[in-house]
Structure 1
Amino acid sequence: MLLSLAVILIPILLIVWAFTRTPDEPEVDRVDWKPAVAEARSGAGYPVLAPVEIPADWKPVKARYAERGGRWVGQTQAAGNRLELGFVSGDDVYIAVNQSDEPDKAAYIASVTRSSATDGSAMVGDQTWQRRVSEDGRTRSLVRAVGGSTAIVVGDAGYTALESFARTLKAS
């Protein structure tokens, strides 16, 4: 009887273990973000914001630039000259800077900030940024106009972290 019970229980325990264990964190590849910034600065037609350097424990995970009408994500076309740089901080928080001169600024802001609502303003250095928060309160953003474009710092982080990142951005 014990042998029959073992024949039934061992596969059941293996199945339970396989479906209830927590998998390891997937490894996200680093990308070289500086070529996308250089391309944007040579073709965008507006002052491009980008960090001068990033902290050593940050990982650049997304860097893309598309000119107006060029291929953006999937089969979509960029409505303007558009740059996106994404980083994972040392605390495993994703923070990105997005910038575009798309004519429909409201649609651009809504798409990047998860249809957020205004949540006040913040002074970062000598620049005023509009604070925004998504409906579920998870995603916060900082938005401001930069020489004919709209710049957005966005992440699932508090405003303090976003403002700290925004201080590292330089236009050129």
Structure 2
Amino acid sequence: MPAGSGGTPHKTGPPWGNVAAAVVVLCAAAAALVYLDRLYPVGLGPRQPIPFSHRVHAGIKQISCFMCHDSATRSSRAGIPPLQTCLLCHARIIRTYPYIARLRELVALNQPVVWQRVNWVPEFVYFDHSMHLRRGVDCGHCHGDIRHMDRVAGAVKFEMGFCIQCHRDNRVTHDCFVCHR
């Protein structure tokens, strides 16, 4: 102790009060980010009004894409299934799950679910799902491995370069008027 200070020695040690405060602030920030839906895994698609896991349905349960997206085999659009399609199974399976109850309620009220779109091509591009399926193009080539996605994320950017390269790789015409009508 220095001469003439006349007090008790001041102990220097770790500022535990400051560390605890920093931990509390970091935990509060992390909780706020989770609450604001900012901390979800990379590649996770947009939040949908009714959670639907393609990983469970297409992966674990091995339900074919065409059970729900049946118009893909016969038209240009894959389509979104009517809610009654969901209730083919969910009239008996996990009926009490709140989101399934919400589905039944929407069907009873004849109201649609407004899903967040994940994939699209520009309006000036003509794309026909059925033609690609007839030629043996797997859905995963453009949409990724849906069987491992809870919330679907766009696997590729549907830009002209992607389509042209696929047509070249598969020795298919890349005449402009095939896609731009």
TM-score by length of 1: 0.28
Relative contact order, CA 8 A, sep 6+: which one is greater?
Answer: 2
Larger fraction in helix: 2
TM-score of the superposed pair, with normalisation by structure 2: 0.27
Higher strand share: 1
